[in-house]
């Protein structure tokens, strides 16, 4: 990894650690550019052509997922590795959907991170073992059901049936659509979609879009 690399990390000790690890895989110190905020990262990305980017998710001026999406939209081939303490399923999925090429937890030792950087430089997709198990769990749940929706009357764990409209909205959520896009697709107001999604969360006993989709697969609401 001899070309320029962007490191986006606001904690000085972790910045220093990543610099040391990058050095161990052949990355010269002068070719590593560090940013502590999204704004700084965007400025650097506008001034340099990076061969790779290492990004934390919890940044002072916003979520690293937004930065990943911005970098990916400007350079779809840029390898982006998340190195974060966050192991929340929703954040992991959102980061990968935004364009991350891999995801590692900060708790991994230097050797493990170095090996992942070598994998990234060769075009691989380094995924933390803990993250991989979570993704496999989601896939295993999905294979229990075939695609499509159950007819009205399918019941989640709470026993409260989802209405046909709620099932339709949940399918759009599973396709990664925002509330605004769902409203446009169904010819409804944003407020109506927001209300339906709150009802879906209540019936499925969840509090996020990712959890709602996972619960739908788990209880075979998609089939």
pLDDT of residue 151: 42
pLDDT of residue 212: 81
pLDDT of residue 17: 96
For residue range 132-144, what is the model confidence (pLDDT) as tens digits?
Answer: 776 666 555 555 5
pLDDT of residue 13: 95
- The C-alpha atoms of residue 167 and residue 161 are separated, in whole angstroms, by 10
Domains of the chain: 5-139 (3.40.50.2300), 145-218 (1.10.10.10)
Query: 56, 103 in Cβ contact below 8 A?
Result: no
Q: Side-chain half-sphere of 20: how many Cα atoms within 13 Å? A: 9
pLDDT of residue 170: 87
pLDDT of residue 157: 53
Can you give the pTM of this predicted structure? 0.64
Query: 136, 146 in Cβ contact below 8 A?
Result: no
- Which residues have CB under 8 Å from 126's CB, separation 6+? 81, 101, 102, 103, 104, 115, 116, 117, 119, 120
Give me the residues of the chain with pLDDT under 50, please. 146-155
pLDDT of residue 14: 96
Give the burial string for 114-124 (b: 16+ CB within 10 Å, else e).
bebbebbbeee
pLDDT of residue 103: 93
Burial of 17 (0-12, 13-18, 19+ CB in 10 A): middle
For residue range 77-122, what is the model confidence (pLDDT) as tens digits?
Answer: 999 999 998 887 778 888 988 999 999 999 999 999 999 999 988 8
């Amino acid at each position: 990894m001899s070309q320029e690399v962007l490191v986006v990390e606001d904690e000085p000790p972790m910045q220093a650690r990543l610099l040391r690890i990058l050095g161990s895989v052949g990355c010269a110190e002068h070719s590593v550019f560090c940013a502590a905020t999204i704004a700084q990262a965007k400025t650097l990305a506008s001034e340099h052509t990076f061969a790779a980017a290492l990004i934390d998710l919890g940044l002072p001026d916003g979520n690293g997922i937004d930065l990943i999406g911005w970098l990916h939209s400007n350079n779809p081939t840029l390898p982006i590795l998340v190195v974060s303490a966050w192991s929340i399923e929703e954040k992991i999925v959102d980061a990968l959907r935004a364009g991350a090429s891999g995801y590692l937890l900060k708790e991994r030792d230097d050797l493990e991170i170095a090996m992942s950087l070598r994998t990234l430089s060769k075009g691989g997709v380094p995924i933390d073992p803990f993250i991989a198990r979570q993704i496999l769990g989601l896939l295993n749940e999905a294979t229990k059901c075939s695609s499509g929706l159950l007819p009205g009357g399918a019941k989640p764990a709470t026993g409260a049936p989802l209405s046909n409209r709620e099932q339709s909205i949940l399918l759009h959520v599973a396709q990664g659509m925002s509330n605004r896009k769902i409203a446009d697709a169904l010819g409804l107001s944003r407020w109506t979609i927001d209300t339906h999604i709150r009802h879906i969360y209540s019936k499925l006993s969840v509090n996020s879009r990712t959890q709602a989709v996972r619960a739908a697969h788990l209880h075979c609401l998609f089939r």
